[in-house]
Amino acid sequence: RTDTSIPVGARALLEDYAGSGFDRGHMAPAGAMVRSESVMSESFILSNMSPQVGVGFNRHIWRNLESALRGWVEQRGVLTVITGPVFQSANGRVNYRVIGNGQVAVPTHFYKIVVDASNPDDVETLAFMLPNESLTGRDFSEFLTSIDEIERLTGLDFLSALPADEQ
């Protein structure tokens, strides 16, 4: 559903996705929001979603990565997962597709950063960046990358509370 906390004209609408060929891909997956009905409901707000290729991406490799993450949480306990879109530039310009009358931007890639800080003296991380395209038959492990690479492409600084040598 539409996120009414975002101003009209700046928010995505369900009709923006209609006939676009893109799924409404969750950034925070509904399957990880089972702790309460209200939290599960909030995961279906469109500001938690971004256009993702459906077959071969959202319904396959992305779902498999999210499922693996839930398994890792069961094994390790608390993990921090940071997820978002990437709009990769080419020749110094960022060009991307938009869908619907609301001009919803379609990311070129998506990332997930997984942090296990259960031992503050040995913080462990994994980072994945997957192109927003059909990746049928591929495994998410093929898309391991560094947090530095995601930072370079997004301009964001992750884990900035850690000392520089640990980052």
- List residues with catalytic annotation: 26
In DSSP notation, 47-111 reads: GGEEEEEIIIIITTHHHHHHHHHHHHHHHHS--EEEEEEE--EETTEE---EETTTTEE--SEEE
First and final CA of the chain: distance in angstroms? 37
Distance CA 12, CA 130 (A): 23
- The C-alpha angle 98, 101, 102, rounded to 5 degrees, equals 70
Question: SS3 of 13, please?
Answer: coil
CB 112 within 8 A of CB 65: yes
